[in-house]
Amino acid sequence: MKIQTKILLLVVVAVFFAVGCKYDWVIPEEVPDIDPNEDVIKFSEHILPIFTDNNNCTACHDGGQIPDLRTDKAYNSLNSARYINKTSPEESRIYSVPHPDTDGHSQKKYSATQAAYIKAWIQQGAENN
Ligand code: HEC
């Protein structure tokens, strides 16, 4: 093989990899279209697992750090004006503090989907259902 051919081959391979990286795009998260007037959001089924699955929140909020988000404590911890604002659900601290678009609470943020569930749950009256 001629040296020019080798170089050309090397360039082709390099370009191939460089272009390959460019197409390694991030697929945007698909947020479910939750209709708070239609879909019933349940604390036990949709909300609690956000806190406890894989210790997502309970890694830290396990009694030492308020709010206590452990299974048997989470509802009572959140059921106060400090965390839930039924008049303006988006101002609820349990929604706004870990919201993906906010600067605070860098430890952990909700995914867009989780945030959508939390908001819908508050819009439906933040019940212990
Ligand atoms: C790595 C530890 C850690 C994890 C995991 C974590 N947090 Fe926190 N969180 C903290 C700390 C520390 C504070 C207090 C300081 C601050 O606001 O950053 C806090 C504060 C908060 C507050 C405000 C408390 C108040 O009374 O003002 C809320 C609400 C909250 N976290 C919710 C959550 C939720 C929901 C999750 C799971 C999605 C979560 N946190 C995961 C460490 C954590």
Q: In this structure, which residue's CA is closest to atom 3 in ligand 1?
A: 60
**Which residues lie below 8 Å from residue 78, measured CB to CB, with a gap of 6+?**
67, 84, 94, 126
State pLDDT tens for residues 10-60.
766 665 566 555 556 677 788 888 887 889 999 999 999 999 999 999 999
Q: Is the CB of 111 under 6 A from ligand 1?
A: no
Which atom belonging to ligand 1 lies closest to the Cα atom of 107? 1
Q: C-alpha angle with apex 83: 77 to 85, nearest 5 degrees?
A: 130
Which atom belonging to ligand 1 lies closest to the Cα atom of 118? 35
Domain boundaries, the chain: 43-123
pTM above 0.85, yes or no: no
Q: Is the CB of 78 under 6 A from ligand 1?
A: no
- Tell me the C-alpha distance between 34 and 119, whole Å: 10
